[in-house]
């Protein structure tokens, strides 16, 4: 009994989605973690283990409310839902004294400011990341370094066709890190655009191009141009389990966090 009580109690919001299912599988299989609840807007009491094909677990998929969240006293809630639901989910978690680990994309700077306010009022910690793949985080770091030496850069991000936000949070964060690292912004030359949007969107002076196709999971290229040469950095997630080491790291770290922490790079070396 003592060993069970020592485990970090985890709830998953968006449990029936593709990322939520993977998180549930991983938590169930990870020593030191205990899956205690599963929430989804489509949940009607299905046993999560049976839904995953892992056998009965006694964990039934339910709607997330302040009441249901408090029934099994999770310490951490992992959220992979949609931009339309995530802010309400975070609010419910923090007001209930549960530390959120958020991988839902589409969170804006305004949203982050609001999350920061909720975290401050709650007196506990929260973690938000645009990408939980360790390779993607390293790509962003490498891109920030390369930006100091190459005058031009563009980002191409490619995701599955069910991703509703564009560009990805990873691409936006990459552009921000590049802009912060550059000695000065590149002056944009005048262009004749024969199709609206053909050059992508601009974030901090960096062009971002978004691709949405079935068969993809999560991919990003950062292409730098300089005199007589180019440098291409690319990261590919071929399976959603590529995000799980980062999710588990965040679940374990958020237990002792104070305040809001954004980005996996901020906990990798702790």
Residue spans of the domains in the chain: they are 2-128+241-266, 134-238
Predicted confidence at residue 1, as pLDDT, reads 37
Predicted confidence at residue 138, as pLDDT, reads 94
Low-confidence stretches of the chain (pLDDT beneath 50)? 1-4
Which CATH code for domain 2-128+241-266?
Answer: 3.40.50.720
Predicted confidence at residue 183, as pLDDT, reads 78
CB neighbours of residue 32 within 10 Å: 11
pLDDT in tens, 198-236: 888 999 999 999 999 999 999 999 999 999 999 999 999
- Dihedrals φ, ψ of 99, to 5°? -85, 120
Q: From 3.30.360.10, 3.30.420.10, 3.40.350.10, 3.30.70.890, which CATH number describes the 134-238 domain? A: 3.30.360.10
Please state the three-class secondary structure of the chain as a single string: CHHHHHCEEEEEECCCCHHHHHHHHHHHHCCCEEEEEEECCCCCCCEHHHHHCCCCCCCEEECCCHHHHHHCCCCEEEECCCCCCHHHHHHHHHHCCCEEEECCCCCCHHHHHHHHHHHHHHCCEEEECCCCCHHHHHHHHHHHHHCCCCCEEEEEEEECCCCCCCCCHHHHHHHHHHHHHCCCCCCCCCCCCCCCCCCCEEECCEEEEEEECCCCCEEEEEEEEECCEEEEEEEEECCHHHHHHHHHHHHHHHCCCCEEEECHHHCCCC
Task: Confirm whether 2-128+241-266 and 134-238 share one CATH topology.
Answer: no
pLDDT in tens, 41-62: 988 888 898 999 888 899 999 9
Predicted confidence at residue 135, as pLDDT, reads 94
Predicted confidence at residue 115, as pLDDT, reads 95
Active site residues: 159, 163
């Amino acid at each position: 009994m003592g060993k069970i009580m020592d485990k970090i109690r985890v709830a998953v919001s968006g449990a029936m989605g593709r990322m939520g299912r993977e998180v549930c599988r991983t938590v169930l299989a990870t020593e030191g973690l205990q899956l205690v609840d599963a929430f989804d807007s489509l949940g009607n009491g299905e046993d999560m283990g049976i839904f995953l094909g892992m056998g009965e677990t006694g964990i039934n998929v339910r709607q997330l409310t302040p009441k249901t969240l408090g029934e099994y006293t999770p310490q951490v809630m992992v959220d992979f839902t949609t931009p339309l639901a995530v802010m309400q989910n975070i609010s419910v978690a923090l007001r209930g004294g549960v530390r959120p680990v958020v991988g839902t994309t589409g969170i804006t700077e305004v949203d982050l400011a609001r999350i920061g306010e909720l975290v401050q009022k709650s007196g506990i910690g929260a973690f938000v990341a645009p990408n939980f793949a360790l390779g993607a985080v390293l790509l962003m770091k490498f891109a920030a370094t390369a930006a100091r030496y190459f005058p031009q850069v563009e980002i191409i991000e490619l995701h599955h066709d069910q991703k509703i936000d564009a560009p990805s949070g990873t691409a936006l964060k990459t552009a921000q890190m590049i802009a912060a690292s550059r000695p000065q912004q590149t002056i944009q030359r005048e262009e004749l655009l024969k199709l609206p949007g053909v050059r992508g969107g601009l974030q901090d002076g960096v062009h971002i191009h978004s691709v949405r196709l079935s068969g993809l999971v999560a991919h990003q290229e950062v292409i730098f141009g300089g005199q007589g040469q180019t440098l291409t950095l690319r990261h590919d997630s071929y399976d959603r389990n590529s995000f799980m080491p980062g999710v588990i790291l965040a679940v374990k770290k958020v237990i002792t966090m104070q305040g809001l922490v954004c980005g996996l790079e901020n906990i990798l070396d702790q």
